[in-house]
Structure 1
Amino acid sequence: MELVKDLPEVFEEFAEQRKNSFLGMKKLKEQGIPVVGAYCTYFPQEIAMAMGAATVGLCSTSDETIPDAERDLPKNLCPLIKSSYGFAKTEKCPFFYFSDVVVGETTCDGKKKMYEYMSEFKDVFVMDLPNTQSPAALELWKGEIIRFKEYLEKKFDVTITEDDIREAIHTNNEVKLSLKGLYELMRNDPAPITGHDLFKVLYGSTFKFDRKAIPAEVDALVEKIKKEYAEGKMLEKKPRILITGCPVGGATEKIIDAVESNGGVVVTFENCNGAKSIDKLVDEEEPDVYEALARRYLNIGCSVMTPNPNRLELLGRLIDEYKVDGVVEMTLQACHTYNVEAFGIRKFVNEEKGLPYINVETDYSQADIGQLNTRIAAFLEML
């Protein structure tokens, strides 16, 4: 299957997907299709899909509404939380506006309290996420997934069957496999495309509501990139960077720009928008669908987990498979779990993997772009 369009056009289409989906969301609502909004990679998307609902990510990535949020929330709070709450309260985010229910999760203290305030003007369902990955935590999380299913059945007066859930699991697994096929192209050295173009597809695909259509589109893109690579179209050899840490997107894409405008190439993202969300599939052979979903989602290696061996396992694997030269960690100001865990990540990268590591702390403003460029340019020069 060959894409007619040039690669730059395709990448820009994915980059614009979030904006284009605003109109698509309105059409879904006109057709009476329920919309479930969520904020986190731990959200068990398949349960909502099994009901026939459209799902959409709500984490906001701009500082536009932070002043509105700071009327209710403290200024020294994570910008992701303030931005999310600000867009929700001001109704400037069409996705939030059209969501019939917003699903939250008890990842960090800031989010937990934000959901309390948000529930005053929106239907919010909060899932109790354990902060460990023990057998007891797995049982708890499985119970939360069942509780979520029962909530949707009651709220929308529907029945969600296990067959419906299995179909949704299969659909999402196919999407993950296609996206893995795309980001695994970056194992090639030199890299076939920029990290920013890779990110446009990974991030943009989360705003495509027809999940079943994604694999064919991504697979076609993969084939085109492979064909052009075989013809000699590739980047020049550059220092290969892994980005880890807080979610990247919107304003924080300045980190990717800082790497790639100063002579490096981002070959892989460990963050929620990258490998973390698509690395593992749900086991389709497991007879208990709730067990399968609970296991897959609870095993995500986020800094809210303690201990957090799964993040190190994924990080180590990506470093080896993508022939990484250096690791850049991006932490958002006042994101305590990632800020504290940065010490352990630095130690792992320096001592276990023998690689250079830099941690850059930032927010959603553009005020620190000069400083970021200076620091990351010096880091790349060292490589």
Structure 2
Amino acid sequence: MNNLPEVFEDFSEARKQGFITIKNLKDGGKKVVGTFCTFTPWEVIHAAGAVPVSLCAKSDETIADAEKHLPRNLCPLIKSSYGFAITDKCPYFYFSDLIVGETTCDGKKKMYEYLGEIKEVHVMQLPQTYKGEDAYRLWRNEIIRLKEKLQKEFGVDVTKEELSQSIKLRNRERIALKEFYELGKMCPPPITGLEMLKVLNGASFKWDKDEEIRELKDLINRSKSEYQEGQRKVSPDAKRILITGCPMGEATEKIIKAIEENGGAVVCYENCTGIKEISKLVDETIDPIDALTEKYLNIGCSCMSPNDNRVNLLSELIDDYKVDGVIDVILQACHTYSVEAFNIKRFVNDKKKTAYMSIETDYSQTDIGQINTRIAAFIEML
């Protein structure tokens, strides 16, 4: 969008600009750790003196290459991740000294076996539930195992003090991001849903966290100032939409555009692209490993069964953001989110008395017309 303020453009371009930054960091002796998921504890990698970087996985650019090895009826995020790896089109994968995966789904687990033929891959074994002592103990051991792997690979000692400092830094970033996305609570919001997504996506490619926090605060202040001066980017009549479900990136911006071009405004993202990971802080008053275990184990992902945390967070967000409708975005062949959609629909319709629709899509642009028609009808119904 050409009318985005410069700081929005800066966040939007952060992933591309970061290619040079990562190369310079590598040339300066920094270690790089590639990650795929919000379950991977950022603080442990940072405390090891390495740079955590999110790998390319949200474009259809390399899916055709991936399908030479992987089935076509597989999640596009998995195919995209693998495709970028085998084609060497992801600079972040190229510069990674270690890849950290996690067993959030069967497709990823098997894909990691192939990635392991290209790079060193460490897989964290995630419990299938966040309830009970056994699940807690398993995940705590996995975080310790990651710490030990980083220490061995990079020849460092990750101390409690370094973990505590990383926790405090990451919490400061979460607070700034939370203050930013809570702009969506305003009626109408001072930013569009697309602007919000660009910042949330771009934030993970800002490795100077102090600078990122300053930029976020500047963005918040500027947005509020312009709003107070009477500038409005979103119509007060726009229907307020919450997006839930699978991760979103450039390829799924088609859904946001369809919402905002048909009289809706995306005010909140309840998924791991948005609020899900940053809604809760890590406890800074207890042992760092225990604090990280508790924090990351309780992310409300559909890979967990039962997934009460997702429902509880949705309930809060629907109220806090005065939501008119919920749109559940499900990537093709993402079975856990697809199966869970029935329960989410019942909850949103019956308990929250709010409209709900689900959209299954992939990273191609061939379904834009269909998506536009369905979303237009949904918003008109609201």
Residues 59/270 of structure 1: CA separation in 2 closer, same or farther (3 Å cut): farther
Q: 1:218 aligns with which of 206, 216, 220?
A: 216
Other-structure match for 2:30 = 33
Q: Distance in 2 between matches of 1:212 and 1:149?
A: 24
Q: Distance in 1 between matches of 2:18 and 2:377?
A: 39
8 Å contact kept, 1:50–1:165? yes
Other-structure match for 2:153 = 155
The alpha-carbon deviation at position 117 of structure 1 amounts to 0.9
Q: Distance in 1 between matches of 2:118 and 2:199?
A: 33
Other-structure match for 2:225 = 227
Q: 2:52 aligns with which of 40, 49, 55?
A: 55
Q: Distance in 2 between matches of 1:84 and 1:30?
A: 25
Deviations 1:141-173 (A, max 9, x none): 011000100011011111110100000000000
Q: Distance in 2 between matches of 1:258 and 1:202?
A: 19
Other-structure match for 1:236 = 235
Other-structure match for 1:3 = none
**How do 1:250-261 residues align onto structure 2 when only pairs under 5 Å count?**
250-261=250-261
Deviations 1:323-353 (A, max 9, x none): 0000011000100000000000100100010
Q: Distance in 2 between matches of 1:98 and 1:326?
A: 42
**How do 1:58-73 residues align onto structure 2 when only pairs under 5 Å count?**
58-73=55-70
Residue type at the aligned position of 2:45: A
Q: Distance in 2 between matches of 1:11 and 1:75?
A: 35
8 Å contact kept, 1:179–1:278? yes
- Alignment of 1:262 with 2:259, yes or no, is no
The alpha-carbon deviation at position 7 of structure 1 amounts to 5.7
What stretches of structure 1 of length at least 5 have no aligned partner?
1-5
Identity level (%): 58
Task: Give secondary structure in 2 for the equivalent of 1:207.
Answer: coil
Residue type at the aligned position of 1:362: T
The alpha-carbon deviation at position 253 of structure 1 amounts to 1.1
Q: Distance in 2 between matches of 1:53 and 1:83?
A: 25
Give me the TM-score of the superposition, normalised by structure 1. 0.97
Other-structure match for 2:276 = 276
Q: Distance in 2 between matches of 1:115 and 1:89?
A: 12
Q: Distance in 2 between matches of 1:59 and 1:292?
A: 29
Task: Give secondary structure in 1 for the equivalent of 2:306.
Answer: coil
Q: Distance in 2 between matches of 1:351 and 1:253?
A: 29
Other-structure match for 2:317 = 318
**How do 1:1-383 residues align onto structure 2 when only pairs under 5 Å count?**
8-134=5-131, 135-234=133-232, 235-237=234-236, 238-286=238-286, 288-383=287-382
The alpha-carbon deviation at position 277 of structure 1 amounts to 1.6
The alpha-carbon deviation at position 212 of structure 1 amounts to 2.6
Residue type at the aligned position of 1:96: F
8 Å contact kept, 1:59–1:80? no
Deviations 1:49-84 (A, max 9, x none): 001111111151111111111111111110100000
Task: Give secondary structure in 1 for the equivalent of 2:285.
Answer: coil
Task: Give secondary structure in 1 for the equivalent of 2:70.
Answer: coil
8 Å contact kept, 2:56–2:84? no
Residue type at the aligned position of 2:14: Q
8 Å contact kept, 2:32–2:53? yes
Residue type at the aligned position of 2:117: E
The alpha-carbon deviation at position 122 of structure 1 amounts to 0.5
Give me the TM-score of the superposition, normalised by structure 2. 0.97
8 Å contact kept, 1:304–1:337? yes
8 Å contact kept, 1:81–1:111? yes
Q: Distance in 2 between matches of 1:204 and 1:66?
A: 23
Task: Give secondary structure in 1 for the equivalent of 2:243.
Answer: strand
8 Å contact kept, 1:246–1:338? yes
8 Å contact kept, 1:62–1:251? yes
8 Å contact kept, 2:104–2:126? yes
Q: Distance in 2 between matches of 1:217 and 1:191?
A: 19
Q: Distance in 2 between matches of 1:183 and 1:61?
A: 21
The alpha-carbon deviation at position 224 of structure 1 amounts to 1.1
Task: Give secondary structure in 1 for the equivalent of 2:295.
Answer: helix
Aligned residues: 377
* Stretches of 4+ aligned residues off by more than 4 angstroms: none
